[in-house]
Amino acid sequence: MKKTKKRDSTENVVNFLFEAGILAKTPRSGFHFLGTGDQSVAEHVSRVVFDWLHSSLAPEGRGHAQGSKNVSSP
């Protein structure tokens, strides 16, 4: 059976969503190293993306939460 482009695209989206759902069940490996915590990979990725968007879209000098360090500044 020949697959159409639209079917391939839909299949790719479904596979992506399935894999993203698996991240919610995958514990972060860093907590094993630290010895505490119960955050999943999905929770961590969500937080990192939110922080990145916040720092990218905020006006200059206001992109990071109070007390956090800006990695790109000296």
For residue 14, pLDDT over 90 is answered with yes
Using CA atoms, how far apart are residues 39 and 34, in angstroms rounded to an integer? 12
- What is the percentage of the chain residues whose pLDDT exceeds 70? 74
The domains of the chain are located at 5-57
Residue 14 in 3-state DSSP?
A: helix
Report which residue type is found at 10: T
Contact 26, 40 (CB under 8 A): yes
- pLDDT tens digits, 43-74: 888 888 888 888 888 776 555 555 555 544 43
**Encoded amino acid at 6, one letter:** K
**Model pLDDT, residue 28:** 82
> Hey, what are 48's tokens?
């990192």
